[in-house]
Structure 1
Amino acid sequence: MTSDAFDTTERAMWTGRAAAYAESFARLCAHPVEQLLDAAGVTGGTRLLDVGTGTGTAALAAQERGARVVAVDADAGMVAAARARGVGARTAVLPELPFSGGEFDAVVGNFVLNHVGRPRAALAELHRVLRPGGRLAVTIWSGRRGAGQDLLGQACAAGGAVPPPHLPRLDAADDFARSAEGLAGLLAEAGFTDAYAGELEWDHRAGLDEWWGGAAGGVATIGLVVTSQDAATVVRIRQAYERLAAGYADGEGRLALPHVALLAAGTA
């Protein structure tokens, strides 16, 4: 898949999904926000760009620290959701941002690089908008997956789902190793110094219907798979999901889903 085709598929996949995301996977993605802001050195007065803000979780946390926050997202629905929560958000699409060079002290991107077709170009753009000495911090999902990350995919396989042909996949020339070394190397390629990355591991706790709701609502790649099936297949996927999810029950009416992500940071 070419970079342009990847981006087009991603944009279509997220259109109209802001509410479904907020009610399902948003809490999962919120987990590393404080660590992300710490890695970017965000404090009172920091001029911060939150790129790919989604529903505005990282931007709100930064505002609570006293940062001066500008937030952008490629999806107009996400921008509207962030604005409704009190975030000054606008629509903008990587790798071309409507800001001057050196405009920000810090940039954060929480699970954003995995949704752009040209991650190297995106990082170069984030480097451009940072002042010399400014800090970047980003998260992505790791190639080493937690067992909870595969639950919905296993349910799809067990239910006989046929993946649609238009799933977003990076062009080989734009791809990179989803490891600490691979992500840190990507930052270094873009000109960031002292670049480092490490793994984050946690058990995300969610209700059975909450976790299913993201997929059933068409959120992310797994949602694209589920919503492209016929009704009978969706029923089989749900049945398989309930059976497999029993292995993650935490004894208190929720699921404990192990996840692994990568957090990387560097200096412009």
Structure 2
Amino acid sequence: MTAFDVSERRIWDGRAESYARTFGRLCAHTVPALLDAASAAAGTRLLDVGCGSGSVTVAAAGRGAVVRAVDAEPGMVAATRRAAPGVDVRIGSLPQLPYPDGEFDAVVANFVLNHVGRPLDALVELRRITRSGGRIAVTVWQTPGAPGQALIGRAAAAAGLTRPGWLATVDEEHDFPRTPAGLGALLTAAGLGDVQGTSLSWDHRAAAEDWWAGPASGVAAIGQLVNSRGPEGVAAAKREYDVMCKEFEGADGLLALPHVAVLAHGKV
């Protein structure tokens, strides 16, 4: 594993429930488009890689697909098993998954490439387990992001918080542009054909306290930043957040947070 993979394991250990209540709801926005891109339908043998709290698995099963799922975090595996009883959900991590060559008609990974140290190797592995003529569809967060994506980072910066030294980034030689063209080029480099990439934009609606709850509990890299200076740092960032989030507040009191993701798909 790369240093980034190691830090990702540390970030997500034991945080499945907090993720499901907060960022899991955000990530569910892209599920319909992701499954459409994978041509998921009745009878499709589909693997949900990085299944998280199970939103993709449940939606694919709802389409009649024959779904299996895998995640590196045991808590996420347990959450998906609860959400989708009867689905085969296993522990496994990229770039080595516990499935034979050509096992699936479609493989999907919703925001998973954001969390692996060698994205190209991960896509090559997804290609290995997909049959000839099958489809692979993936999403990542677009960079630069939309204003809603930057809100909590802005609050942390205003509070003087800095990224913890142990929190690694993807090595430059393994990174790629987080744009439709950049993600599409990565799929092409992995050997996929008929590659297409696009941006997906939406406003995520949430109560201000609910949106803060995720990073405050340490979810994702942003949660590690918010907690980098202990309770005093969290409180300082929260004061900044309370001011900044007003710019996104609607008449109903909920935040409308603009987000933008990249969806790319291709054929084996």
- Displacement of 1:162 in angstroms is 2.3
Measured after TM superposition, the shift of residue 233 of structure 1 is 2.0
The residue number in structure 1 matching 2:154 is: 154
Aligned to 1:8: 6
Counterpart for residue 258 of structure 2: 258
Gaps of 5+ in 2: none
Aligned structure 1 segments of 4 or more residues deviating by more than 3 angstroms:
none
- The residue that corresponds to 2:232 in the other structure is 232
Q: Which residue of 1 aligns with 2:59?
A: 61
Q: Identity percentage over the alignment?
A: 51
Q: Distance in 2 between matches of 1:88 and 1:207?
A: 34
Shift of 1:10: 0.2
TM-score scaled by length of structure 2: 0.98
Conserved? CA contact 2:227–2:233, under 8 Å: no
CA drift of 1:93 comes to 0.4
Aligned residue for 1:253, secondary structure, equals coil
CA distance, structure 2, for counterparts of residue 131 and residue 243 of structure 1:
51
> Does structure 2 conserve the Cα–Cα contact (< 8 Å) formed by 1:9 and 1:166?
yes
Q: Of residues 27, 41, 56 in structure 2, which corresponds to 1:43?
A: 41
- Tell whether the 8 Å contact from 1:39 to 1:265 is kept in structure 2 after alignment: yes
Deviations 1:174-203 (A, max 9, x none): 001111111000000001001111101111
Aligned match for 1:81, one of 76, 79, 82: 79
Distance in 1 (CA, whole Å) between partners of 2:230 and 2:37 is 44
- Which residue is equivalent to 1:29? 27
**Which residue number in structure 1 is paired with residue 15 of structure 2?**
17
Give the conservation status (yes or no) of the 8 Å contact 1:146–1:259.
Answer: yes
- Opposite residue 111 of structure 2, the aligned amino acid is F
- Structure 1 residue 230 displacement after superposition: 2.5
- The corresponding residue for 2:195 is 195
Shift of 1:57: 0.5
Per-residue CA distance 1:29-84 (angstroms, 9 max, x = gap): 00010010000000000000000000111010000000000100010010011111
**Does structure 2 conserve the Cα–Cα contact (< 8 Å) formed by 1:144 and 1:260?**
no
Give the Cα–Cα distance (whole angstroms) in 2 for the partners of residues 195 and 29 of structure 1: 22
RMSD, matched Cα: 0.9
**1:168 and 1:50 mapped to 2: Cα distance?**
26
SS at match of 1:154: helix
